[in-house]
Amino acid sequence: MNTHPIWISAGEASGDIHAASLLAALRAIDPGLPALGMGGPALEAAGCNLRFPMRLISLVGLTEVLSGLPRILRLLGEVKRALVAAKPRALILIDCPDFHFRVARMAKKLGIPVYYYVSPQVWAWRSGRVEFLRRFTRRVLCILPFEKDFYASCGMAVDYVGHPLMDQMPLEELDALAPDPNLLGLLPGSRRKEVSALLPEFAKTALLLRRDLPDLRVALARAPGLDLEYLRSFLPPELTTTMPVEFYEPEDRYRMMRMSRALLAASGTVTLEAALIGTPLVMSYRFSALSYAIGKMVVRVKFGSLPNLILDREVYPELIQDKARAEIFAERLRPWLTDEVALAAARADLAGLRAKVGGPGAAGRAAEIILNDLRALGR
């Protein structure tokens, strides 16, 4: 039996959770499997020996990556030395392509098989990266239903395993909860840049809505790595003194998302989580001016949120850049908060999403594919 470890690498909060689920699935098949790599609290709690914390690569957008490049290059050197010393039997990368493609390249040169779980969104932009994946990975494991067709159209064999959220979310338990008719949920992101750009406008939105809705309350979910005092620093006194603000810990965010009548959130996996739960959401994001200008030239998809992409229509409003303002947020949220017919229609729009995403068992299917392939390699 190969006693060398598996190296797992995740670079953001959602990837950290997916990595933890995958490690649990790998160990369900191979109980003695050692693991090390890069990630966050979820992967560490799952029993991975973290050599590098994922906060080291918590960057968004081209300009942010460029400004952090010297630090990233130093980190890549450290990762390479760690891979040489550990001699892992395989490398499993989860999303975060700007960093992980460089790790994949070095692993290939070291003779380490590379598996990409939660494939990068090459269908959105830089589709030439498909050729990179063909050259430097053993297998790509997709979690979105339309990804397999995209890769097939590029002549690449991939495995569609379903979305890991179907295992991680207690959907039956959440379905039993009745939403609070007066609760607006805020999810301003997991990175400080996201929070500082969006939470002040989110707070202004709540104040604007409160003028028409005197019973409105606000719930705010804290992402891992962000403390409550940091979040409170973006809430104006007129908000906290005039309406209740309920803070939810990261492990309770699904409950908050279900209990809320509507949500206002930063772009990311949270949009798919909310859609699977069945709660209407307005999605927003602000990029640096340069990142946004470049993005407009290279992004090739109609939508920025996963529910809209999967359903191929706008079920969640997407308010980006100059549209990320309190007045526009309030305008799009108000019908859901005041009109039962509009709210019911929004929920009905989301009803078929679970079937499209697929059933539970994604991490188990991915683990089986990876371990079977390693056995075929004699590793």
pLDDT higher for 178 or 125?
A: 178
Look at residue 302 and tell me whether its pLDDT is greater than 80. no
Mean pLDDT of 294-317: 75
Return d(Cα 158, Cα 187) in angstroms, integer. Answer: 33
- In this prediction, residue 55 carries a pLDDT of 83
Contact (Cβ atoms closer than 8 angstroms) between residue 19 and residue 8: yes
Mean pLDDT of 109-133: 81
Look at residue 354 and tell me whether its pLDDT is greater than 70. yes
Question: Where on the phi/psi map is residue 290: left (φ > 0), alpha (ψ -120 to 50), or beta?
Answer: alpha
Beta bridge partners of 90: 6
Mean pLDDT of 328-350: 96
Look at residue 304 and tell me whether its pLDDT is greater than 70. yes
pLDDT-derived band at 158 (thresholds 50, 70, 90) equals confident
Half-sphere exposure of 42 (CA within 13 A, CB side): 23
Q: What is the pLDDT of residues 132-153, one digit of tens each?
A: 888 999 999 999 888 888 888 8
CATH superfamily placement of domain 6-162+361-377: Glycogen Phosphorylase B; (3.40.50.2000)
Using alpha carbons, select from 245, 217, 214, 249 the residue that is nearest to residue 232.
245
**pTM of the entire structure?**
0.78
Q: Which two tokens stand for residue 139?
A: 């297998």
Q: Which two tokens stand for residue 123?
A: 């269908």
Mean pLDDT of 242-271: 93
- In this prediction, residue 230 carries a pLDDT of 94
- In this prediction, residue 293 carries a pLDDT of 52
Return d(Cα 327, Cα 201) in angstroms, integer. Answer: 9
Contact (Cβ atoms closer than 8 angstroms) between residue 271 and residue 307: yes
Topology of 171-357 in CATH?
A: Rossmann fold (3.40.50)
Do domains 6-162+361-377 and 171-357 share one topology? The answer is: yes
| Dmax (CA) of the chain | 67
Q: What is the pLDDT of residues 308-328, one digit of tens each?
A: 988 888 999 999 888 999 999
Using alpha carbons, select from 296, 299, 266 the residue that is nearest to residue 281.
266
Cβ neighbours of residue 214 under 8 Å, at least 6 residues apart? none
Look at residue 67 and tell me whether its pLDDT is greater than 80. no
Mean pLDDT of 99-123: 89
Q: What is the pLDDT of residues 69-83, one digit of tens each?
A: 778 888 999 999 999
- In this prediction, residue 122 carries a pLDDT of 65
- Calculate the alpha carbon distances from 189 to 13, 120, 231, 334 in Å: 10, 20, 11, 22
- In this prediction, residue 63 carries a pLDDT of 44
| Run of H or E including 139 | strand 139-142
Look at residue 58 and tell me whether its pLDDT is greater than 70. no
Cβ neighbours of residue 332 under 8 Å, at least 6 residues apart? 282, 317, 319
- Calculate the alpha carbon distances from 253 to 176, 249, 264, 269 in Å: 16, 7, 13, 13
- Helices 97-109 and 69-86: crossing angle in degrees, nearest 10, is 40
Q: Domain ranges in the chain?
A: 6-162+361-377, 171-357
